[in-house]
Amino acid sequence: MKRALFFLLALAVCLSACTSAPESEAGGEVMDATVENAVPAEESASSAAPVAGGAIWGDNCQADSGHAWYTVNPVGDENGVRQVQLLRLDYNTGKQDCLCTIDASPQQVGEPLARDGMVYLVLDQTLYRISEEDGQMETVPLERPVFPMIADGTYGYDYTFDAGANNIQLSRLDLQTGEITLLSMPAQTQGIWAVGEPRLLVCNLATDAPLPSVEQGEQYAAAIQSADCVYSWYDPATGATEKLLEEPYYGVEQEDGSRRHRSFLGMADGRLYFSWVVSKGEGPLDYGMESCDANGQDWQALPDAPVEGEAIWSLQQQGKCRWVLGGRGTEAYWIYDLTTGQYHEMPHVTAIDYWPCQLFQNGKVLLKFDGENGQGELVCGLMDGDAYLAGSTDWTPIEDAATSPEA
């Protein structure tokens, strides 16, 4: 049983964490902007009225309590899920155990949120408030299912894309009372990102007329040709927005007919980071990274990578973007550390070995490995982040200490 739980953690954590880029979770695509396109920030209540709960964390950082990282393990049989185990990885010791087991037979299972000594978890229409210290829990019934993916100190936020309305729906869950509020979003919002600020970065499409539903394939594709992407700060407390920049949906057209567009990577030390690609036809012609300040100004190019390859993956730490990983498929990878401004060549990293899944608050990195020579069983291990960047391969396997508090 312990072995099964260990591999379930590896599969749930590493596969889900390592197969999608930050922008994909929001259902949006960040396109290109040039310095000439940048729009001066507008005065807004978003800078004067911060969210009561403080910085909003996402990208799995919301499950990091400062000493442990939480995941869920649904346990069931051919008839479905019978129990949900809340797994706790103490990343200081490298030991994993089970904080508690919930007998609920849920149909839907959310992701844990860890805040101020408590872990919050939604199963179906019930919010579980669980003590980190002893696993004791209390329940709060909810009026409808809400499964937060980002959180601050007071609220969890669930966002889903409504294809019919062509807009993201953002729901706010009060982690103490269970109250659910449907927040007003800019029309045709396509992307939303938590960047460790008391506000969110959003991207919405500006068009002369409302876009048809994405389900109306050809009509939608024709209408979006002339759409612009508007990037703004969004304050969940007030609904106010502060525009940063506006740009064509398909990127800025170049003299040779190619188009240059950006993808958002994350925010660190007050700057927003983007990868950019110039493409024409099937393949990229050029690529790189650059950043701007929090007002969409002061664009700066980042140094070229030591080996060829586009930026493809980013990792957050304590709600802020820390590492960007790039490379070319099966060729050598590199990592750019946003806090130091340095590249690190990572020739030993592959998609199945030494791939970084999570960066914890104590500086350790969670890595995945092919544990059984490609036979489908993955292994997870820990390594000091600085040693990892320096090229070390001395990793420590996670120890599955117990499957339940009684074990």
User: pLDDT for 51-63, tens place per residue?
Assistant: 456 999 999 999 9
CA distance 186 to 239: 9
Rg of the chain (C-alpha set): 22
The answer to whether 231 touches 201, Cβ cutoff 8 Å, is yes
* 3-state secondary structure string across 138-168: EEEECCCCCCCCEECCCEEEEEEEECCCCEE
CA distances from 19 to 15, 22, 55 (A): 6, 10, 26
Write down the mean pLDDT value for the chain.
85
- Interval 187-207 mean pLDDT: 95
**Token duo for residue 185:** 């979003």
Indicate whether 30 pLDDT > 90: no
Backbone φ and ψ of 13, nearest 5°: -80, -55
SS3 content of the chain, % helix, strand, coil (to 5): 10, 45, 45
At residue 5, the pLDDT reads 38
The answer to whether 120 touches 97, Cβ cutoff 8 Å, is no
CA nearest neighbour of 194 among 327, 61, 309: 61
Predicted TM-score (pTM) above 0.75: yes
User: pLDDT for 282-338, tens place per residue?
Assistant: 777 899 999 999 999 999 999 999 988 899 999 999 999 999 999 876 678 999 999
Indicate whether 193 pLDDT > 80: yes
Q: Which residues pair with 114 in a beta bridge?
A: 119
Q: According to DSSP H, which parts of 152-225 are helical?
A: 217-223
DSSP, res 116: T
CA distance 268 to 339: 7
CA nearest neighbour of 248 among 21, 36, 24: 36
